[in-house]
């Protein structure tokens, strides 16, 4: 984890690798103001993101099963190389089930150079022999999870085709925001957009309302959104902002009452305390020619009011 120079000294003191109960490494990032994030090598999944006051911002189910290979119900599982179950692979692809490694020697990041104020970890996923049998494409998936000095969580992903033939993929950062009460939440930034509704066999509709509010199950992929989406939580008096690049679509998911009861790793009433809003690239798959690389960036921030 050590890197040379002043920034590296700070990063070295703020980046800690621990083991979870299954012996899988987790990286804990802590900035100098006391915000933190925890990312597991199981799935490259962010499991916790806390403010400098120790307030948890991501939802994790009280019934979550912490046992690989299944992903933990909460945090930010990564859906790759497929989103959903429309394809030859298992639901949401295999990346969230795999054990990633810490990337000791990542190639330089061209954009968003890291300043001294950021702490980060670099993770890497490469396909195993087993993965190549079900998805015969060699790739390097590099993920930088970073905590800024303000406590924002950024996830920069780079996927490189190291095949000799092109491949296509979809991807989503399935972000479970922790909220006070689903009935008190609204999402802005999706107004007038077209969406595919998973509750109606991915039929295409157009969003009519001013802002999205919730009174029943929602399972949609909003298409070609702007790069800034906001989740307002009135009761909690806090607003999440999602800034994204290279991720045109937005998944919005809340299972509501009936579906909650059908999920073994989710409490019957927990749908009230979570909302998934994902930066994603789903409708138009990303195609990489041999040697090409795709970059996507997601930045999550929170503001408290009152």
* Binding interface with ligand BG6 (CB under 6 A): 84, 91-92, 174, 198, 219, 251, 253
CA distance 52 to 179: 18
Q: From the CB of 41, what's the least distance to ligand BG6, in Å?
A: 19
Query: How far does CA 143 lie from the centroid of its chain?
Result: 11
Q: Scanning the structure block, which residue is given the tokens 């945090």?
A: 75
Q: From the CB of 217, what's the least distance to ligand BG6, in Å?
A: 10
CA distance 240 to 278: 12
Q: Look up residue 15 and give its two tokens.
A: 């980046």
CA distance 250 to 244: 10
Q: From the CB of 98, what's the least distance to ligand BG6, in Å?
A: 15
Q: Scanning the structure block, which residue is given the tokens 């949609």?
A: 220
For ligand BG6, the closer of residues 41 and 78 by Cβ is 78
For ligand BG6, the closer of residues 142 and 174 by Cβ is 174
Q: Is 96 annotated as a binding residue?
A: yes
CA distance 254 to 231: 13
Q: From the CB of 32, what's the least distance to ligand BG6, in Å?
A: 34
For ligand BG6, the closer of residues 69 and 290 by Cβ is 69
Q: Where are the beta strands (DSSP E) in the chain?
A: 15-19, 25-30, 36-40, 45-50, 78-79, 101-102, 119-125, 139-147, 153-161, 167-173, 176-178, 185-188, 194-197, 203-206, 218-222, 228-233, 238-245, 249-254, 274-288, 293-304
Q: Is 73 annotated as a binding residue?
A: yes
Q: Is 258 helix (H, G, I), strand (E, B) or coil?
A: helix
Q: From the CB of 250, what's the least distance to ligand BG6, in Å?
A: 11
Q: From the CB of 299, what's the least distance to ligand BG6, in Å?
A: 20
CA distance 298 to 124: 17
For ligand BG6, the closer of residues 84 and 279 by Cβ is 84
For ligand BG6, the closer of residues 59 and 120 by Cβ is 59
Q: Is 263 helix (H, G, I), strand (E, B) or coil?
A: coil
For ligand BG6, the closer of residues 64 and 153 by Cβ is 64
Question: Which residues does the annotation place in the binding site for substrate?
Answer: 73, 91, 96
């Amino acid at each position: 984890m050590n890197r040379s120079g002043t920034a590296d000294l700070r990063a070295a003191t703020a980046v800690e690798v621990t083991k979870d109960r299954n012996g899988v490494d987790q990286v804990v990032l802590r900035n100098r103001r006391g915000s933190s994030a925890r990312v597991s090598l199981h799935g490259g999944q962010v499991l916790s993101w806390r403010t400098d006051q120790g307030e948890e911002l991501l939802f994790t189910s009280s019934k979550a099963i912490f046992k690989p290979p299944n992903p933990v119900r909460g945090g930010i599982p990564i859906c790759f190389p497929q989103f959903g179950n429309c394809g030859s692979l298992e639901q949401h692809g295999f990346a969230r089930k795999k054990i990633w490694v810490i990337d000791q020697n990542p190639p330089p990041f061209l954009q968003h150079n890291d300043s001294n104020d950021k702490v980060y970890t670099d993770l890497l996923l490469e396909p195993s022999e087993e993965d190549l049998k079900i998805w015969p494409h060699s790739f390097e998936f590099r993920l930088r999870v970073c905590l800024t000095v303000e406590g924002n969580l950024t996830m920069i992903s780079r996927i490189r085709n190291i095949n000799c033939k092109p491949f296509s993929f979809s991807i989503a950062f399935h972000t479970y925001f922790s909220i006070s009460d689903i009935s008190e939440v609204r999402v802005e930034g999706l107004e007038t957009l077209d969406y595919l509704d998973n509750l109606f066999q991915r039929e295409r509709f157009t969003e009519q309302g001013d802002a999205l509010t919730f009174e029943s199950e929602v399972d949609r992929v909003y298409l070609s959104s702007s790069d800034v989406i906001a989740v307002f939580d009135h009761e909690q008096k806090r607003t999440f902002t999602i800034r994204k690049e290279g991720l045109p679509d937005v998944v919005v998911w809340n299972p509501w009452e009936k579906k909650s009861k059908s999920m073994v790793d989710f409490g019957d009433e927990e749908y009230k305390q979570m909302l998934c809003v994902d930066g994603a690239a789903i409708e138009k798959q990303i195609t990489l020619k041999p040697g090409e690389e795709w970059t996507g960036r997601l930045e999550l921030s929170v503001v408290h009011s009152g």
